[in-house]
């Protein structure tokens, strides 16, 4: 072995041994885990409210035509369109006894033909002008509404409106057809438990012989016998200049619209018939339940309420805020109880109606059928709570904010603006109604609301209408079924119960 090879033999094992004896380097400690960031964590913090915007109500103008027809004008030049309404002081009280629905049938027939145009021609002329024309009867008034383009199309659109209002033909075939359509609508509504409940509530609160005891469309037995002679007589008596008002909102000015209206409606003659006095309903003195069976329904409709207050009453604002506080908001106690706490309903809401003479307070909602009786008990319980103490400052603030901050939505469109100003002629309210409305809301106190609660929400004053199944079978929670007798449970509440 030469010297070089000998050296390699000795050196390589030595190197291997040395390499084995070198301690291994320690692994670095694991890096600390980075906390996961929840991308939705921001939702846990309620955003800070920005400054409250100030709503400025529209400022109307008013003038009269030469025959005394009052006109309310809201100028809105933002778009080249306008809405115009001929409002008639003709409510349900104008229907002769036994002829409920006559006013509604008369209004529906106005757009079916005039002495110079058929119904098809009216529709065609409106379409050619880019206009929309409709007529209807509500609980308090009748109206013909025109949506039209401003500019060159305005004058011929007003010609069409005036023709419909002043020269209806009331063709016998049209009367028969529209009457049959009304009867079909009435018959169809019997399958709608909510509509059925509304009808029953009106009848039971006011009575079958009271004009407010029927919906505007009427009932099967009253509408069936209406004739062309009835319609012509009703129109001749009630549709005249003395009962008319005109409301306009949109891209026009008084200088433009006044002569256009004068030339079309200024010679309309006044009649002698004016709104009739309406007798007040009997105020209930004990809780009463009226049940109507709706076979196969999986929910029950509950309507509860009592005679209310006229819109022009000094108490209306306080009553309206009281109604909002108990049932007019998602966060109102009644909805929080039935929807949030018990889960029996998707929602139950209520309010005071607007009426020239006799309004009502009414709450309505659908509940799961097997919880009908407990739900009625909760409704009466929540109403009773309001009579025991004034509303908390938090609830009162919520109610007032809900009313005041929703006002702007009443004026989103020209037609909505026109509808909002109906209250002036319909209820005899001042022209600056909406300008003073927010301050009236803010001025309402807890004691005033409490007084309304004690007057209108006492359980003994409530009529309860229930439309739903007589019995319902549900899971018993143990894998079986149980049948709930809804009527028996309602009777067990201890109030007078009538089945219809």
Q: Measuring CA to CA, which residue among 419, 414, 418 is closest to residue 82?
A: 414
- Structural domain 61-265, CATH architecture: 2-Layer Sandwich (3.30)
Same CATH topology for 61-265 and 288-499: the answer is yes
Parallel, antiparallel or unpaired: strands 496-499 and 288-293: parallel
User: What's the rounded Cα separation, in Å, for the pair 67 and 166?
Assistant: 15
Q: Measuring CA to CA, which residue among 376, 385, 325 is closest to residue 351?
A: 325
Domain range list for the chain: 61-265, 288-499
pLDDT of residue 52: 78
pLDDT of residue 50: 82
User: What's the rounded Cα separation, in Å, for the pair 148 and 130?
Assistant: 7
Reported as type and span, the H/E element at residue 497 is strand 496-499
Prediction pTM value: 0.86
**Sequential pLDDT tens for the chain (500 residues):** 444 444 444 444 444 444 445 555 566 666 666 667 888 888 888 888 888 778 889 999 999 999 999 999 999 999 999 999 999 999 999 999 999 999 999 999 999 999 999 999 999 999 999 999 999 999 899 999 999 999 999 999 999 999 999 999 999 999 999 999 999 999 988 889 999 999 999 999 999 999 999 999 999 999 999 999 999 999 999 999 999 999 999 999 999 999 999 999 999 999 999 988 888 888 999 999 999 999 888 899 999 999 999 999 999 999 999 999 999 999 999 999 999 999 999 999 999 999 998 899 999 999 999 999 999 999 999 999 999 999 999 999 999 999 999 999 999 999 999 999 999 999 999 999 999 999 999 999 999 999 999 999 999 999 999 999 999 998 888 888 899 999 999 999 999 999 99
**Beta-sheet strand order (sheet of 244-250):** 61-64, 70-75, 244-250, 81-88, 142-149, 132-137
* Close Cβ partners of 249 (under 8 Å, ≥ 6 residues apart): 58, 73, 74, 76, 82, 83, 414, 415, 417, 418, 421
In this structure, which long-range contacts are made by residues 75-80, counting pairs with CB atoms below 8 Å and at least 24 apart in sequence? 75/250, 75/251, 75/252, 75/253, 75/254, 76/249, 76/250, 76/251, 76/414, 76/417, 77/251, 78/251, 79/250, 79/251, 80/149, 80/150, 80/151, 80/251
Reported as type and span, the H/E element at residue 454 is helix 446-456
Phi, psi of 395 (to 5 degrees): -65, -40
pLDDT of residue 25: 57
Q: Are 396 and 447 in contact (CB under 8 A)?
A: no
Distance between alpha carbon 462 and the CA centroid of its chain, in Å? 21
Distance between alpha carbon 284 and the CA centroid of its chain, in Å? 26
The CATH number that domain 288-499 falls under is 3.30.830.10
Q: Are 369 and 468 in contact (CB under 8 A)?
A: yes
Distance between alpha carbon 369 and the CA centroid of its chain, in Å? 24
């Amino acid at each position: 072995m030469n010297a070089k090879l000998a050296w390699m033999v000795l050196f390589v094992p030595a190197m291997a041994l040395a390499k084995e004896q070198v301690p291994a380097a320690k692994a670095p400690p694991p890096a600390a885990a980075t906390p996961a960031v929840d991308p939705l964590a921001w939702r846990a913090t309620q955003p800070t409210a920005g400054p409250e915007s100030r709503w400025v109500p529209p400022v109307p103008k008013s003038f009269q035509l030469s025959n005394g027809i009052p006109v309310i004008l809201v100028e809105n030049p933002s778009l080249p369109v306008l809405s115009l309404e001929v409002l008639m002081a003709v409510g349900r009280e104008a229907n002769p006894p036994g002829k409920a629905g006559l006013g509604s049938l008369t209004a529906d027939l106005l757009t079916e033909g005039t002495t110079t145009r058929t119904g098809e021609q009216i529709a065609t002329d409106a379409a050619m002008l880019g206009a929309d024309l409709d007529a209807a009867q509500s609980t308090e008034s009748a109206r013909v509404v025109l949506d039209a383009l401003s500019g060159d199309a305005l004058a011929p659109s007003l010609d069409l409106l005036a023709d419909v209002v002043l020269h209806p033909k009331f063709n016998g075939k049209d009367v028969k057809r529209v009457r049959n359509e009304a009867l079909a609508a009435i018959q169809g509504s019997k399958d709608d438990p909510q509509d059925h409940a509304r009808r029953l509530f009106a009848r039971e609160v006011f009575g079958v012989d009271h004009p407010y005891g029927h919906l505007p469309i009427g009932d099967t037995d009253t509408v069936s016998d209406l004739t062309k002679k009835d319609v012509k007589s009703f129109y001749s008596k009630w549709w005249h200049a003395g009962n008319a008002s005109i409301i306009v909102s949109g891209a026009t000015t008084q200088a433009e619209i006044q002569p256009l209206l004068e030339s079309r409606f200024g010679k309309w003659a006044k009649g002698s018939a004016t709104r009739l006095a309406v007798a007040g309903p009997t105020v209930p003195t004990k809780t009463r339940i009226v049940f109507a069976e709706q076979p196969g329904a999986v929910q029950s409709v509950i309507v509860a309420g009592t005679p209310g207050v006229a819109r022009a009453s000094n108490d209306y604002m306080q009553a309206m805020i009281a109604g909002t506080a108990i049932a007019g908001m998602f966060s109102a106690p009644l909805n929080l109880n039935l929807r949030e706490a018990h889960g029996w309903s998707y929602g139950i809401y209520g309010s005071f109606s607007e009426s020239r003479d006799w309004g009502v307070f009414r709450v309505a909602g659908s509940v799961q059928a097997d919880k009908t009786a407990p739900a009625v008990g909760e409704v009466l319980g929540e109403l009773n709570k309001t009579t025991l103490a004034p509303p908390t400052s938090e609830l009162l603030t919520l109610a007032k904010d809900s009313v005041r901050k929703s006002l702007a939505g009443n004026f989103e469109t020209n037609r909505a603006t026109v509808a909002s100003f109906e209250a002036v002629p319909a209820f005899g309210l001042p022209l600056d109604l909406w300008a003073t409305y927010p301050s009236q809301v803010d001025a309402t106190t807890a004691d005033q609301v409490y007084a309304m609660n004690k007057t209108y929400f006492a359980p003994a004053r409530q009529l309860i209408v229930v439309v739903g199944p007589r019995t319902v079978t549900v899971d018993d929670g143990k894998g079986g079924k149980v049948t709930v007798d809804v009527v028996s449970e309602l009777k067990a509440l201890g109030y007078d119960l009538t089945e219809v």
